Amino acid sequence: MNLLVVGGGGREHALCWKLAQSPKLSRLVAAPGNPGMARHAACVAMSVDDHDGIVRLAERERADLVVVGPEVPLVAGLADRLRDKGFAVFGPGAAAAALEGSKAFAKDLMTRAGIPTARYGTFTEAAPARAFCRELGAPVVVKADGLAAGKGAIVCATLADADVAITRCMERREFGVAGATVVVEEFLRGEEVSFFALSNGAACVPLSAAQDHKTVFDGDRGANTGGMGAFTPVASMDAAMHARVMREIVEPTFAGIARDGAPYRGVLFVGLMLTAGGPKVIEYNVRFGDPECQAIMAAMEGDLLPLLDAAARGAPLPTPDPAARAAVCVVVASGGYPGRYPTGLPIDGIDEAERVPGVVVFHAGTALPDGGVVTAGGRVLGVTATADDVPAAVEAAYTAVARIRFEGMHYRRDIGRRNATQEAS
């Protein structure tokens, strides 16, 4: 099969690494890809927003399957464009991708389908939004409706903070049009889990669960980032919880979106809170998580390609083999990230890091001008290790991270250690 993967971050590197192991693969092309993906794929410089260019590339490459990694092109309708041209596409069309593209739409679907989630209200005016915050009481969560690169959810400890958050979204327009509508919701307490399921438009199968670490500093302190690390499996997601999440959340979500006339072909990433009252949805994403994908791909048994292909074509979905191993991804970031950071700094030690048994280094923000790999983004590398259990994978990942050097690099030292504490307690 000829495959085209759209995207150029750590998530897409992990997908390409896994797909490259498939005996069914003939040719792998990535747009735009990155220097790490270039080991497995022919990389074509192209923006993921250049839908015309991507359609032409798929035609030129006679792609049997197109896998769309990031949410922005999905929400903007890239999968529809490609399907209209007859391509099999892994990734939902715009109507279904609204599950991520509009939090108000997602909450409305959950209400209609009876899916457990936080109490909420949707507002286009600041005054009633502020009044609803008072009705719920602090802490409360204020969310920009649209895509905001993971930064649009503001957890507010006090009503004064909530007032500021509403001002930032609706009056100062810090998130642009994404914040013109806000969702105000009840604060949920519990453990957060990222749950992944595949759908072919009619049926669905669970894939895996992981946990990520969103804040920049150890102990879940500091600003939110795109994700500083992830691990799988998650101790609290036992077989019974998997089955409950499928029954109460995932299956009704796919059924609800199909009733809306938008059958879902791709991966659904459900952000869950395991509350005292059971699992509840925090958010939907219409693609793999980054960096959860790195850990899930590393731990995954069997061939990924037939799963993605069946989902894309609406064919019967094979049951994914349960992962027998654990995996941990530690993100190594540029100095200053998630604020301003320099780029173009030389990176040393990637090969040495990959000599640690079980380790693969996924590239996220790197470039390869003449003379060697340099930094080119905030999250630079995802150092990923597989082992028999999470503590052993943590150990291997940090042994590898210690071999990587670039000026100003920083990373969290506690990735995967939350799981160890849970298991011990």
Interaction between residue 396 and ligand AMP (CB under 6 A): no
- What SS3 class is residue 122? strand
Chain centre to alpha carbon of residue 247: 22
58 binds ligand AMP (CB under 6 A): no
Of the candidate residues 282, 331, 332, 380, the single one contacting ligand AMP (CB under 6 A): 282
> Contact between 141 and ligand AMP (CB under 6 A)?
yes
Residue 341 CB contacts under 8 Å (≥ 6 apart), including other chains: 333, 334, 335, 378, 408
Paired residues of 6 in beta bridges? 31, 68
Pattern of binders to ligand AMP over 67-106, x per CB under 6 A?
----------------------------------------
Stretch touching ligand AMP by CB under 6 A, among 56-64, 81-89, 180-188, 241-249:
180-188
The per-type count for the chain, helices as H runs and strands as E runs, is 15, 21
Residue 2 CB, shortest distance to ligand AMP, in Å, is 35
Amino acid at 207: L
For residue 294, the minimal CB distance to ligand AMP (Å) is: 18
Which tokens belong to 111? 């209400």
CB 331, CB 379: distance < 8 Å:
yes
Minimum CB distance to ligand AMP, residue 33 (Å): 27
161 binds ligand AMP (CB under 6 A): no
| 118 vs 350, beta carbon nearer ligand AMP | 118
Binding-site member from 271, 278, 302, 349 for ligand AMP (CB under 6 A): 271
User: Which residue in the set 126, 138, 174, 187 belongs to the binding site for ligand AMP (CB under 6 A)?
Assistant: 187
Of the listed pieces 186-194, 258-266, 311-319, 327-335, which binds ligand AMP according to CB under 6 A? 186-194
CB burial class (10 A; 0-12, 13-18, 19+) of residue 235? middle
Q: What is the DSSP letter of 185?
A: E
Give the SS3 label for residue 74. helix
Q: Which is nearer to ligand AMP, 271 or 391 (CB)?
A: 271
Contact 38, 363 (CB under 8 A): no
Which residue has its beta carbon closest to ligand AMP?
A: 153
- Mark residues 189-228: x for contact with ligand AMP by CB under 6 A, - for none: ---x---------------------x--------------
CA dihedral (37, 38, 43, 48) in degrees, to 10, reads: 20
Both structure tokens of 348:
């040393």
Helix (H/G/I), strand (E/B), else coil: 245 = helix
* # of chain residues touching ligand AMP (CB under 6 A): 14
* Run of H or E residues at 142: strand 140-144
C-alpha 54/C-alpha 49 separation (Å) is 9
Q: How far apart are CA 58 and CA 374, in angstroms?
A: 29
Q: Which of 67, 58, 16 minimizes the C-alpha distance to 37?
A: 16
- Our finding on whether 155 is near ligand AMP (CB under 6 A) is yes
Site string for ligand AMP, 297-336 (x = CB under 6 A): ----------------------------------------
Candidates 188, 297, 326, 356; binder of ligand AMP (CB under 6 A) is: 188
Among the candidate windows 11-19, 108-116, 121-129, 147-155, which touches ligand AMP by CB under 6 A? 147-155
Q: Is 163 helix (H, G, I), strand (E, B) or coil?
A: helix
Which residues in this chain contact ligand AMP in the complex, by CB under 6 A?
Answer: 118, 141, 143, 150, 153, 155, 185, 187-188, 192, 214, 271, 282-283
